[in-house]
Amino acid sequence: MTDRVFLEGLKVETLIGVYDWEREIRQNLWLDLSLAYDCAPAAVDDDIHKALDYDALSRHIRSWAAEQAFELIETFGERLCQEIHRFAGITDIELRINKAGAVADCQAVGIRIRRTFP
């Protein structure tokens, strides 16, 4: 499948970090997602019900993130991919997580991962 749906710059708030002070405050992460999704059925019929509801997905991701507490963005990313698969049935997920302010004199740090599910 070559179709992909993307969400760029999705801001989520969560508890993330290894330092004590990080465990006491909620921090923002910015997510870029690229999701394998067959857009053809929706396009052929011009039917929203056959499309990926990226509004519902983004709301679900924000809600899910708000309930989480991880030390590592690597763990956050892994679990988020699993949650997206569970919620939307997406089997190929590319995720970029940006944690602004994590390193002095650096705009942002983060990870980029790709996960596939059977």
Catalytic residues: 99
**CB under 8 Å to 74, separation ≥6 — which residues?**
111, 113
| Distance in angstroms between the alpha carbons of the first and the last residue of the chain | 14
d(CA 30, CA 82) in angstroms, rounded, equals 18
Token pair 């909620």 is at which residue? 26
**The pair of three-digit structure tokens given for residue 7, joined into one six-digit string:** 């969400």
